[in-house]
């Protein structure tokens, strides 16, 4: 399996292109395609989706002929999951909990993404960052965001 391993990076990258290209092209078929003279909303995405899938196949083919060789390296899944979770938490709770709660949760999750950071440290970092962000964005820049959201009865 040495060849396949050497090509792995290119196969995966090409695979992402192919999948996304086909997804966009297929999605575009649901819209009016139109003609070159009067292009519908689906025309350009259809062409580009096809082009991307084609380029993806080319990347895969190139991987087999002359793969880049170097390993992909480890993925820090803890970081990926917690950073994503932090951002999603903010988006989902900013209206309900308000800026303070959403920011605290988001920066706590993000701080924990680094495995060497202890929970205690993360709590301190999150509290500090929340205070700093509120000062910068709400007081200094006057963003009109509710500090406390609708879920919390005052």
Partner 1 sequence: MELFGNLGLGLETALSPENLLFCFIGVVLGTAVGVLPGIGPTATIALLLPITFTFEPVSALIMLAGIYYGAQYGGSTTAILINLPGETSAAVTAIDGHEMARKGRAGPALAAAAIASFVAGTVATVVLVLFAPPLAGVALTFGSPEFFSLVVLGLIASIALARGSTVKALGMIVLGLLFGTIGQDIYTGTPRFTFGVRELFEGINFVSVAVGMFGVAEILKNLEDEQTRKLVTKKISGLWPTREDFRRMAAPIARGTALGSALGILPGAGHVLASFGAYAIEKRVSKRKEEFGHGAIEAVASPEAANNAAAQTSFIPLLTLGLPPHPVMALMLGAFIIHGITPGPNVINDEPALFWGLIVSMWIGNLFLVLLNLPLIGIWVRMLTIPYKILFPAIIAFSAIGTFSLGLNAWHVFAIAFFGVLGYALIKLGCEPAPLLLGFVLGPLLEDHLRRSLIISRGDLSIFISRPVSAVLLTMAVTAIVIAVLPTIRRKREVVFKEEEI
Within residues 85-104, the interface with partner 1 by CB under 8 A covers 86-88, 90-92, 94-95, 99, 102-103
Which of 1, 2, 116, 153: binder of partner 1 (CB under 8 A)? 116
Instruction: Sort 90 into a burial class: Cβ within 10 Å, 0-12 / 13-18 / 19+.
Output: buried
Which of 4, 29, 58, 119: binder of partner 1 (CB under 8 A)? 58
Residues 6 or more apart whose CB falls under 8 angstroms from that of 23 comprise 49
Nearest distance in Å: CB 154, partner 1:
21
Kindly state whether residue 19 participates in binding partner 1, applying the rule CB under 8 A.
no
Residue with Cβ nearer partner 1 (2 or 74): 74
Instruction: Sort 105 into a burial class: Cβ within 10 Å, 0-12 / 13-18 / 19+.
Output: buried
Identify whether the C-beta of residue 81 lies closer than 8 Å to the C-beta of residue 109.
no
Q: What is the DSSP string of 93-139?
A: HTTTTHHHHHHHHHHHHHHHTSTTS-HHHHHHHHHHHHHHHIIIIII
Nearest distance in Å: CB 108, partner 1:
8
Residue with Cβ nearer partner 1 (3 or 76): 76
Nearest distance in Å: CB 137, partner 1:
5
Distance CA 45, CA 21 (A): 9
Which of 1, 35, 65, 139: binder of partner 1 (CB under 8 A)? 35
Distance CA 90, CA 142 (A): 19
Which of 65, 75, 120, 154: binder of partner 1 (CB under 8 A)? 75
Which of 27, 29, 127, 151: binder of partner 1 (CB under 8 A)? 27
Residue with Cβ nearer partner 1 (3 or 128): 128
């Amino acid at each position: 399996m040495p060849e396949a391993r050497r090509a792995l990076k290119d196969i995966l990258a090409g695979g992402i292109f192919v999948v996304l290209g086909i997804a966009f092209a297929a999605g575009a078929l649901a819209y009016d395609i139109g003609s070159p003279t009067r292009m519908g909303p689906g025309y350009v995405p259809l062409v580009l989706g096809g082009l991307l899938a084609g380029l993806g196949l080319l990347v895969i083919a190139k991987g087999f002929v002359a793969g880049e060789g170097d390993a992909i390296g480890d993925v820090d899944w803890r970081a990926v999951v917690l950073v994503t979770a932090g951002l999603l938490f903010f988006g989902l709770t900013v209206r309900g909990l308000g800026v303070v709660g959403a920011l605290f949760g988001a920066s706590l999750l993000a701080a924990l993404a680094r495995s060497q950071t202890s929970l205690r440290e993360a709590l301190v970092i999150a509290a500090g960052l929340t205070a700093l962000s509120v000062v910068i964005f709400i007081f200094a820049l006057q963003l009109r965001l509710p500090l406390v959201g609708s879920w919390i009865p005052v």
